[in-house]
Structure formats: C-alpha cells, structure tokens
C-alpha cells in the first residue's frame, strides 16, 4: 500500500512536509476516484439512502403542459382583508406535484432533456409494498 510507505519516508516534522505528503497522496486519491469503483458505490448507496430512484424519460400531454404553463401565470388581485393569493411559483410547484402523482415521478427531481417542452427526465417514485 502506498500510504504506509510515504509515512515511513517522510516523518512529518515540518509544515512543508504535509505539502509533500499531500502532493504524493493526491494523485493516488484521484486515480481511485477516477476508477469509479469507490465513487459509484458511494453515490449509489447515497441515492438509495435518500430514497432516490432511477431516472426515466417522461412525455406529458398537451393538456398537462397547458396546465403547468397556466399555473406559472401571475394572478391579478386586489387586497381585501390582507389575504394575498398564492405566488406563481407555488402554483407551478403544485401543478408539477399533481403531474408527478399522475405519472409516477418525484416532481422535485424534474430536469429538461432538451427534446422540447413536453419531454423531461425525473426519478421514478418508489411504490409502497402492500
């Protein structure tokens, strides 16, 4: 293993010795990360821990697209009694949430895939057993 050899060669008496150690160990660390063996397992484990699923491409209907675009429009209002209507962002989030429930994806993970307004990718929701 590389690390014990480095420690035996450099006793680390001075602050600049830590820089030498870092310079020797960093390429090894990068090669381990670049191999993907450790990182892919860590990332997969982290994704499973937070409940993430597989990304999948979805296509929404014209009606669904129209609903989301309508939800993004500002709401004109006059203040009577101090009640402020919901913001366009809140309305859009709710529209994405309803679409996610309907199509089976987590609405917080939606990303555009560049194919057009109706196409996107998102993580598939895990269905509870039973």
Average pLDDT of the chain is: 75
Higher pLDDT, 67 or 16: 67
Q: Tokens 């090894």 sit at which residue? A: 28
Q: Would the pLDDT of 71 be above 90?
A: yes
Q: Would the pLDDT of 6 be above 60?
A: no
Q: Would the pLDDT of 50 be above 90?
A: no
Q: How much is the pLDDT for 51?
A: 52
Q: Would the pLDDT of 117 be above 70?
A: yes
The confidence band for 84, taking pLDDT boundaries of 50, 70 and 90, is confident
Q: How much is the pLDDT for 104?
A: 93
Q: What phi and psi values does residue 113 have, to the nearest 5 degrees? A: -110, 5
3-state DSSP assignment of residue 4: helix
Q: Would the pLDDT of 130 be above 60?
A: no
Q: Would the pLDDT of 10 be above 50?
A: no
> For residue 96, which of 51, 88, 2, 53 has the smallest C-alpha distance?
88
Higher pLDDT, 108 or 52: 108
């Amino acid at each position: 293993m590389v690390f014990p050899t480095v420690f035996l060669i450099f006793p680390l008496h001075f602050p600049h010795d830590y820089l030498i150690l870092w310079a020797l160990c960093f390429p090894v660390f990068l090669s381990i990360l670049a191999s993907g063996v450790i990182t892919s397992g860590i990332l997969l484990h982290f994704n499973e821990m937070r409940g993430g699923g597989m990304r999948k491409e979805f296509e929404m209907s014209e009606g669904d697209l129209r609903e989301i675009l309508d939800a993004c429009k500002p709401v004109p209002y006059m203040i009577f009694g101090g009640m402020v209507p919901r913001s366009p962002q809140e309305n859009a989030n709710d529209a994405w949430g309803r679409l996610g429930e309907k199509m089976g994806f987590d609405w917080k993970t939606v990303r555009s895939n560049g194919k057009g307004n109706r196409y996107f990718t998102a993580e598939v929701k895990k269905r509870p057993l039973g």
